[in-house]
A and B are shown apart, each in its own frame.
Chain A
Amino acid sequence: EAQVTQNPRYLITVTGKKLTVTCSQNMNHEYMSWYRQDPGLGLRQIYYSMNVEVTDKGDVPEGYKVSRKEKRNFPLILESPSPNQTSLYFCASSLLGEKLFFGSGTQLSVL
């Protein structure tokens, strides 16, 4: 089944404790992206990647890192999480120029 898989679905952590949210897709998509969804703000892009080893900042990249060492994986790294990074995170992928497929989301709470 074609899908974008994020893990974990739920995560509670404390300020400053490094964490990684994993994202994997099995559709051989070149393009992958991370979004965060916040009440009243909709979906905002954090980082995106056009292909392996090619990443770029989206609209709200501060406090986040990403890497794209393999085509199927695009992890989101929070080196020192803060409470303002409490949010619902979505990973997405697509063929270049095509519609996005989204993962089921990761609800992150930073205390």
Chain B
Amino acid sequence: DQQVKQNSPSLSVQEGRISILNCDYTNSMFDYFLWYKKYPAEGPTFLISISSIKDKNEDGRFTVFLNKSAKHLSLHIVPSQPGDSAVYFCAASVQGGSEKLVFGKGMKLTVNP
């Protein structure tokens, strides 16, 4: 039973446009959400996070939105750049830590020049 779901396996966008990556979760106890980015032949790297006490967190071109009532979060990348092409993992945890972090299956983003 997947507690963190990334239902779209891939997304392709044009450079300069917005990329929106979606993530749904089923466990209402999750209170900390993260996005990780992974390039081929490298380990995942932390991108951005949000606590359940917020509904938005912004870091440069990256914004994460959290809708607790819908158990849904999304990552917006504006403007998208070719270097953003990677696999993005949504992750969630209880009590705000990385311990027992639950990951989604990942979504491959391709940004075309």
State the A residues within 8 Å of B (CB).
4, 31, 33, 35, 40-45, 48, 50, 58, 90, 92, 94, 96-105
Contact = CB atoms under 8 A, between A and B. Distances in A.
Contact of B43 (A94, A97, A103): A103
Interface residues of B, number: 22
Contact of A97 (B46, B98, B100, B104): B98
A99 B34 contact: yes
B89 A43 contact: yes
Interface of B: 6, 34, 36, 41-46, 49, 89, 91, 96-101, 103-106
Nearest to B105: A42
B interface SS class = loop
Nearest to B91: A43
Contacts of B6: 42
Given A96-B97, A99-B34, A100-B98, A43 B103 contact: yes
B42 A104 contact: yes
A72 to B, nearest CB: 17
A95 B85 CA distance: 29
Contact of B101 (A41, A45, A101, A103): A45
Nearest to A39: B105
